[in-house]
């Protein structure tokens, strides 16, 4: 007998050719052929530092987009997401999540309110099809149209303390009027009515722009952004830096800090979950779970011994017994420490608790520390 | 990319340079380039034995962990302590940054390893994959 496996075609963004031309190291991430770093401009650490101290540019077109529009769009968004979208002004966005009835994660999302009855959910690459089916199926009873716009956009993230200066050169939009987690529409590189969100996944100030996904337009804008940012040392950044940046800022990654087996309380995302909303998928289970202490909670640790915690490594108590595991672990290029997010029982999550991380069979000393590991300075 | 022909190479991207029965071991330019920014090198202690083809340590970049495989068997006589505090030396000069010195227990093993020219051909094929 022979098993024939069907290999799904690897997907490419409209900027794939330009990444390759720039000599990026490419990896397959959630079915997408994406740049992990650009060695010709210094590689991962240089990219991470550019975003913390200047500006970095990311192709994040693998992200998906779902639009809900129609008279009952708000009611549908309220039903499928845990945050309270009724609090959004037009032009405002919020972090939220789609939940299963048991209070675990379908995905985390950014909800944008375009109009009274028009919303855009920006979703993760690896969960695009699942998320769209979930939202479409659960919005059936509402008078609203659910559309998958994922392939319509090339999404470029411009991130870092000088991101606003760079983007201001290329747009007529008044960026100073756009606060964090708000968005606007404006002309960018001569293209009219472009969605510009003051959002990102780096823990830094920055913007995400959504342009037409044809290769010519995408390439033109990508080059204009990179060229326009030269005076601030703008460089292209890959998924490697995106991961270390979001880890320093303790932003969750699907299948790591959140998943279909981890609930909202465990993940510590309480402040984005509005139980005062009368109804949403997952609410009943979360209400019930709220009374009991969770068996595990997400905590941050810093390696104090010589070793690097990596995704999946076990967390041990000081006697060497396994008490939890690492969801994301890496050297932190800006903080210059080896950090990790871990699930451990609440008793091990108190700040200052000494634990060990099992690195190649050896316990290496670590300590529970406050998160986020990195918080950008207030300006 | 030039690989010095004063040493032998493995398909796991280590090099070994022998002088009589003593030899130094490191990783190749191709290996350091694939790894990216190297931040940690984990090596065995002086006096421990390593066996050809078996793991003897690991090297970590920001994004990846990679096992080190012994190109030849022997006893460790020296460890490059500089790499504990300056692992980036491997990025800067992979072929000049030895990790271990060993006394070869089976010097004949080196005959089975790749020459510089064969290794260069091998990595060209790897890169084209």
Distance from CA of A240 to the nearest CA of B (A): 7
The pLDDT of residue B127 is 79
Chain centroid, CA A357 distance in Å = 26
Distance from CA of A253 to the nearest CA of B (A): 15
Question: For every one of its 129 residues, what pLDDT tens digit does chain B have, with 9 covering 90 and above?
Answer: 589 999 999 999 999 999 999 999 999 999 999 999 999 999 999 999 999 999 999 999 999 999 999 999 999 999 999 999 999 999 999 999 999 999 999 999 999 999 999 999 999 998 777
Distance from CA of B19 to the nearest CA of A (A): 32
Residues A102-148: pLDDT tens digits? 999 999 999 999 999 999 999 999 999 999 999 999 999 999 999 99
CB-CB contact of A102 with A285 (8 Å): yes
**Residue A1: pLDDT over 50:** no
**How far is residue A41's CA from residue A58's CA, in Å, rounded to a whole number?**
14
**CA–CA distance from A139 to each of A144, A146, B126 (Å)?**
7, 8, 48
Distance from CA of B52 to the nearest CA of A (A): 20
Contact across the interface for B36 and A360, Cβ inside 8 Å: no
**Residue A2: pLDDT over 80:** no
Burial bucket for residue A182 (CB in 10 Å: 0-12, 13-18, 19+) = middle
Question: In percent, how much of chain A has pLDDT > 70?
Answer: 98
The pLDDT of residue B126 is 84
ipTM value greater than 0.90? no
Distance from CA of B13 to the nearest CA of A (A): 18
Mutation site for A-interface testing, chosen from B32, B33, B34, B37 by largest number of A Cβ within 10 Å = B37
pLDDT band at A8 (very low <50, low <70, confident <90, very high): low
CB-CB contact of A104 with A259 (8 Å): yes
Contact across the interface for B62 and A333, Cβ inside 8 Å: yes
CB-CB contact of A16 with A196 (8 Å): no
Contact across the interface for B58 and A310, Cβ inside 8 Å: no
pTM above 0.80, yes or no: yes
Distance from CA of A330 to the nearest CA of B (A): 6
**Residue A296: pLDDT over 70:** yes
B63: contact with A, CB 8 A cutoff: yes
What does the DSSP 8-state code read for residue B114?
B
Chain B residues whose beta carbon lies within 8 Å of the beta carbon of residue A306:
40
Q: Is B122 helix (H, G, I), strand (E, B) or coil?
A: helix
| Partner-chain residue, chosen from A43, A243, A308, that has the shortest CB–CB distance to B37 | A43
The pLDDT of residue A291 is 83
Residues A233-289: pLDDT tens digits? 999 999 999 999 999 999 999 999 999 999 999 999 999 999 999 999 999 999 999
Phi then psi dihedrals of residue A365, to 5 deg: -65, 140
| Partner-chain residue, chosen from A306, A330, A360, that has the shortest CB–CB distance to B62 | A330
Contact across the interface for A244 and B36, Cβ inside 8 Å: no
A130: tokens are 């699942």
| Partner-chain residue, chosen from A44, A306, A308, that has the shortest CB–CB distance to B37 | A44
Contact across the interface for A44 and B60, Cβ inside 8 Å: no
Average pLDDT over residues A92-98: 98
Contacts of B91 by beta carbon, 8 Å cutoff, 6+ apart: B32, B37, B38
| Partner-chain residue, chosen from A25, A308, A333, that has the shortest CB–CB distance to B60 | A308
Mutation site for B-interface testing, chosen from A37, A237, A332, A361 by largest number of B Cβ within 10 Å = A37
Residues A46-57: pLDDT tens digits? 999 999 999 999
Phi then psi dihedrals of residue A279, to 5 deg: -155, 135
Name the residue of chain A whose CA is nearest to B85's CA: A306
Chain B residues whose beta carbon lies within 8 Å of the beta carbon of residue A45:
37, 62
Domain B8-106+118-123 has CATH 3.90.230.10: no
What does the DSSP 8-state code read for residue B112?
G
Distance from CA of B62 to the nearest CA of A (A): 6
Contact across the interface for B37 and A25, Cβ inside 8 Å: no
Residues A322-336: pLDDT tens digits? 999 999 999 999 999
Chain centroid, CA A265 distance in Å = 19
Structural domains of chain A, with CATH? 9-292 (3.30.1360.120), 295-369 (2.40.30.110)
Burial bucket for residue A378 (CB in 10 Å: 0-12, 13-18, 19+) = exposed
**Residue A74: pLDDT over 60:** yes
Torsion angle of C-alpha atoms A19, A20, A23, A29, degrees rounded to 10: 70
B33: contact with A, CB 8 A cutoff: yes
Q: Which contacts qualify for A266-274: CB closer than 8 Å, 24 or more apart?
A: A266/A294, A266/A295, A266/A296, A266/A297, A266/A298, A266/A343, A267/A105, A267/A298, A268/A297, A268/A298, A269/A97, A269/A108, A272/A82, A272/A83, A272/A94, A272/A95, A272/A96, A272/A97, A273/A82, A273/A83, A273/A97, A274/A82, A274/A83, A274/A84
| Partner-chain residue, chosen from A39, A240, A307, that has the shortest CB–CB distance to B63 | A240
Residues A15-35: pLDDT tens digits? 999 999 999 999 999 999 999
Average pLDDT over residues A348-365: 97
Average pLDDT over residues A198-215: 98
Chain centroid, CA A93 distance in Å = 14
Burial bucket for residue A204 (CB in 10 Å: 0-12, 13-18, 19+) = buried
Q: Is B7 helix (H, G, I), strand (E, B) or coil?
A: coil
């Amino acid at each position: 007998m022979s098993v024939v496996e069907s290999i799904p075609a690897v997907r490419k963004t409209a900027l794939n050719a330009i990444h390759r031309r720039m000599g990026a190291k490419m990896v397959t991430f959630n079915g997408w052929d994406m740049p992990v770093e650009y060695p010709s401009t210094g590689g991962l650490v240089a990219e991470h530092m550019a975003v913390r101290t200047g500006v970095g540019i990311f192709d994040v077109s693998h992200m998906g987009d779902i639009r809900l529009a129609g008279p009952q769009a708000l009611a549908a968004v309220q039903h499928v997401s845990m945050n309270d979208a009724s609090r959004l002004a037009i032009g405002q966005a919020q972090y939220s999540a789609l939940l299963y009835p048991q209070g675990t994660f379908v995905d985390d999302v950014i909800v944008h309110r375009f109009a009274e009855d028009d919303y855009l959910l920006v979703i993760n690459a690896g969960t695009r099809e699942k998320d769209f089916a979930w939202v479409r199926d659960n919005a059936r009873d509402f008078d609203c149209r659910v559309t998958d716009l994922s392939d319509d956009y090339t999404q470029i993230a411009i991130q870092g303390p000088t991101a606003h200066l760079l983007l201001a050169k290329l747009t007529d939009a008044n960026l100073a009027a756009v606060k964090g987690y708000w968005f606007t529409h404006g002309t960018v590189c001569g293209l009219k009515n472009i969605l510009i969100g003051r959002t990102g996944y780096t823990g830094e100030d920055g913007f995400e722009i959504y342009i037409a996904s044809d290769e010519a337009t995408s390439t033109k804008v990508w080059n204009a952004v990179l060229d326009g940012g030269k005076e601030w040392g703008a460089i292209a950044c890959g998924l490697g830096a995106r991961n270390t940046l979001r880890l320093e800022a303790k932003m969750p990654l699907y299948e790591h800090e959140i998943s279909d087996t981890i609930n909202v309380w465990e993940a510590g995302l309480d402040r984005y979950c509005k139980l005062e909303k009368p109804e949403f998928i997952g609410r009943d289970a979360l209400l019930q779970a709220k009374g009991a202490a969770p068996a595990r909670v997400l905590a941050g640790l810093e390696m104090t011994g010589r070793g690097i915690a990596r995704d999946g490594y076990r967390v041990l108590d000081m006697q060497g017994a396994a008490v939890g595991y690492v969801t994301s672990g890496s050297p932190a290029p800006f903080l210059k420490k080896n950090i990790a997010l871990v699930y451990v029982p609440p008793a091990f999550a108190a700040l200052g608790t000494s634990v060990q991380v099992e690195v190649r069979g050896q316990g290496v000393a670590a300590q529970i520390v406050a998160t986020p590991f990195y918080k950008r300075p207030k300006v | 990319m030039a690989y010095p022909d004063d040493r032998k190479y493995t398909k796991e991207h280590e090099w070994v340079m022998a002088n009589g029965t003593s030899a130094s071991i490191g990783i190749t330019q191709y290996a350091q380039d694939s790894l990216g920014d190297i931040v940690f090198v984990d090596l065995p202690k002086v006096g421990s034995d390593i066996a050809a083809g078996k793991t003897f340590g690991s090297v970590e970049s920001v994004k990846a962990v990679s096992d080190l495989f012994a190109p030849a068997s022997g006893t460790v006589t020296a460890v490059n302590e500089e790499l504990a505090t300056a692992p980036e030396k491997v990025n800067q000069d992979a072929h000049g940054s030895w990790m271990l010195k060993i006394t070869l227990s089976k010097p004949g093993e080196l005959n089975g390893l790749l020459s510089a020219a064969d290794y260069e051909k091998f990595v060209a094929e790897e890169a084209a994959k």
